[in-house]
Chain A
Amino acid sequence: GQQVMQIPQYQHVQEGEDFTTYCNSSTTLSNIQWYKQRPGGHPVFLIQLVKSGEVKKQKRLTFQFGEAKKNSSLHITATQTTDVGTYFCAGILIQGAQKLVFGQGTRLTINP
């Protein structure tokens, strides 16, 4: 079954509102990566988190990695229309085959 779960599947917000997507794994992750895919485009790497409890910021985006390294979140403050797209988390499971497993993605749409 799906090993990396991501919620919500869809999120529609008014421009200026905040947005958060959550990523949960059934097993411990060695790291977690976040990607953004614009409509019609390909995934683009945003950030990688490695340490337990790590928090990283990129302008209005805040990324967190849980203490148990099983969950992560991406929070966007004051969304802009340029934030539209699908955000994917992807993690490498400590147990099992060494491969990057993608979450289902959260599609963000914004009402200007």
Chain B
Amino acid sequence: GAVVSQHPSRVICKSGTSVKIECRSLDFQATTMFWYRQFPKQSLMLMATSNEGSKATYEQGVEKDKFLINHASLTLSTLTVTSAHPEDSSFYICSASRSGIDSPLHFGNGTRLTVT
């Protein structure tokens, strides 16, 4: 089946540094990818929709300058958490679907970010 690869799985960084998370669709082309944030024992909060070749669409309350998204190719989207702070510590998960939002989402394994 479809596989979405996310890297790194874990990252610990110091406050003020930036962290880049990669999301790759391994066996299909994804014009759209989605980035979620999940706090412990809570639901998935959609942060932004990543569109290949164009700007990402951010959800209300998500700072676009803080969470930079680049979707440079049909198989790769990146999320960069800039100037990270402890409150940015969370589980970030990307997902992609073969044919739009009304088809199943395939999730990456997620990235556990800890900012010290």
Of the candidates A33, A104, A107, the one whose C-beta lies within 8 Å of that of B105 is A33
Residue of A nearest to B110 (CB): A42
In the complex, the answer to whether A100 meets B109 with C-beta atoms within 8 Å is: no
Which of A11-19, A43-51, A53-61 has 4 or more CB atoms under 8 Å from chain B?
A43-51
In the complex, the answer to whether B102 meets A92 with C-beta atoms within 8 Å is: yes
In the complex, the answer to whether A30 meets B102 with C-beta atoms within 8 Å is: yes
Which of B37-45, B61-69, B72-80, B82-90 has 4 or more CB atoms under 8 Å from chain A?
B37-45
Of the candidates B44, B102, B110, the one whose C-beta lies within 8 Å of that of A88 is B44
Main secondary structure of the interface of A (DSSP, over half): strand
In the complex, the answer to whether A99 meets B110 with C-beta atoms within 8 Å is: no
Residue of A nearest to B93 (CB): A42
Complex CA gap A43/B108 in Å reads 9
The CB with the most chain A CB atoms within 10 A, among B44, B95, B103, is that of: B44
Interface range on chain B (Cβ under 8 Å from partner): 10 to 19
In the complex, the answer to whether A43 meets B44 with C-beta atoms within 8 Å is: yes
Number of A-B residue pairs, CB cutoff 8 Å, is: 45
In the complex, the answer to whether A104 meets B43 with C-beta atoms within 8 Å is: yes
Of the candidates A41, A92, A107, the one whose C-beta lies within 8 Å of that of B101 is A92
A85 at the interface (CB under 8 A from B): no
Scan residues 56-112 of chain A and give those whose CB is less than 8 A from a CB of chain B.
88, 90, 92, 98-105, 107
In the complex, the answer to whether B105 meets A99 with C-beta atoms within 8 Å is: no
A25 at the interface (CB under 8 A from B): no
Query: Which residues of chain B are near A44, meaning CB under 8 Å?
Result: 107
Scan residues 24-46 of chain A and give those whose CB is less than 8 A from a CB of chain B.
30-31, 33, 35, 41-45
Give me 7 other A-B pairs in contact (C-beta within 8 A), A42-B107, A43-B107, A100-B46 excluded: A43-B93, A43-B105, A45-B105, A99-B101, A101-B46, A102-B44, A104-B43
Smallest CB-CB A-B distances: 10 pairs: A45-B104, A42-B107, A104-B43, A102-B44, A43-B107, A42-B110, A102-B43, A105-B43, A42-B109, A100-B101
